[in-house]
Amino acid sequence: MRKDLLTNTMVPKKELVRIVIDKDKNVSVDPTGKKSGRGAYVSLIPEKIAEAQKNRVLEKSLGAKISEDFYKDLYDYVDHQKARKELFGDK
């Protein structure tokens, strides 16, 4: 179980995606959950990503400036994962 940064609830790890910031302040999506650096978990709900961008939730949690492009990429990734999960179910 991990705490979803966007909904503030405890959720199974496989239902979240990890965002990681490395020592050089590079922010990236970590689909494996194994990259080194400080991580934050977010849910696979595309609408929550837009809300997080508006409220700067990831910036506050990770302590770094996050670009508009990263939020767009994150939204696309989460939207794709959600559609994939709906299509194929839990595997």
| pTM reported for the whole predicted model | 0.87
Q: In what order do the strands lie in the sheet with 16-21?
A: 27-30, 16-21, 38-43
| pLDDT tens-place string over residues 27-41 | 999 999 999 999 999
CA dihedral 24, 53, 44, 64 (to 10 degrees): 20
| pLDDT tens-place string over residues 1-50 | 999 999 999 999 989 999 999 999 999 999 999 999 999 999 999 999 99
Looking at domain 2-88, its CATH architecture is 2-Layer Sandwich (3.30)
